[in-house]
Amino acid sequence: MTTPKTNKSLDLVHPCYNPHPGWAEDLIRHYTLFMSRIPTDVVVHMYVVDDGSKHGVHSEDIDQLQQAIPHFTFIPLSQNLGKGGALRHAIRQSQGDLVIYTDADYPYKMENAWEMYQRLAVGNADVVVGVRDEQYYDQLPFRRKIFSLSLKLMNYLFFPGLKVKDTQSGLKGFNAKGKALFLKTTISAFLFDMEFLVLVSKQKDIQMEWIYVQVREGIHFSTMKPRTILTELFNFASILIRGFFSK
């Protein structure tokens, strides 16, 4: 792989909602491991956005993060916006040359985050997207697995121009051009990822690359509620309609 161009600042953006006990210690451990292979001349700023948590986020957690991470910003939201809304709120405040976002519990292997940084730092890609391997789907609860695979199939059927059909991986990165597109998304729930990639695929001047990502050991997936599935189907229809009329 080409040697990265250094001196590019990087923002790590992590949404959280009702995190598990000990989440701050875990996040510090993930950050320390990530930094172990990042060039020392790269300034890395971490943003944690709390999406209106009802429990799990305490002042002691934030103090611990501020003491352990040299460049750290905590963004508390008074109400739950949804993952898409929370990420837009945080990324709008970010100032780095590059942005990588993933959940605060780092659900994917660290090798995936390192590779994503490498791809972005080289400068050949404006957007780098994680694509989940087949083992990922084997670990999902039944309802969530059916929804994820169905969404992937619907992307093939209704969005043939999508450069990546697995739109919902929670690990993505981009430069300033990608950031500008990301901030044009409007969906607050999970399909903001898909909306973003639809926008990316329509831009001929945006260079996108993808990498395979693997779930790390110890990650447990929650099941999807029927109401959530209905909301996401509505969002899919909304993206489809807007895509049709914007042709």
DSSP, residue by residue, 127-174 = EEEEEE-HHHHHTS-HHHHHHHHHHHHHHHHH-TT-S-S----S-EEE
Is 245's pLDDT higher than 60? no
Task: Provide the pLDDT for residue 206.
Answer: 96
Q: At what angle do helices 110-122 and 23-35 cross, to 10 degrees?
A: 50
Task: Provide the pLDDT for residue 139.
Answer: 78
What is the pLDDT confidence band of residue 11, given thresholds at 50, 70 and 90? very high
**Tokens representing 63?**
């103090």
> What is the per-residue pLDDT across 186-241, written as a single tens digit (0 to 9) for each?
999 889 999 999 999 999 999 999 999 998 887 777 777 777 878 888 888 888 88
Task: Provide the pLDDT for residue 146.
Answer: 87
> Lowest mean pLDDT: which of 58-62, 110-114, 164-168?
164-168
> Lowest mean pLDDT: which of 5-14, 81-90, 135-144?
135-144
Is 18's pLDDT higher than 60? yes
Is 1's pLDDT higher than 60? no
**Average pLDDT, rounded, for the chain:** 91
Is 5's pLDDT higher than 80? no
The better pLDDT of the pair 218, 173 is held by: 173
Task: Provide the pLDDT for residue 230.
Answer: 83
Task: Provide the pLDDT for residue 218.
Answer: 75
Q: At what angle do helices 23-35 and 59-68 cross, to 10 degrees?
A: 20
Determine the longest span between alpha carbons in the chain, in angstroms: 50
The better pLDDT of the pair 215, 174 is held by: 174
With beta carbons less than 8 A apart as the criterion, state whether 129 and 152 touch: no
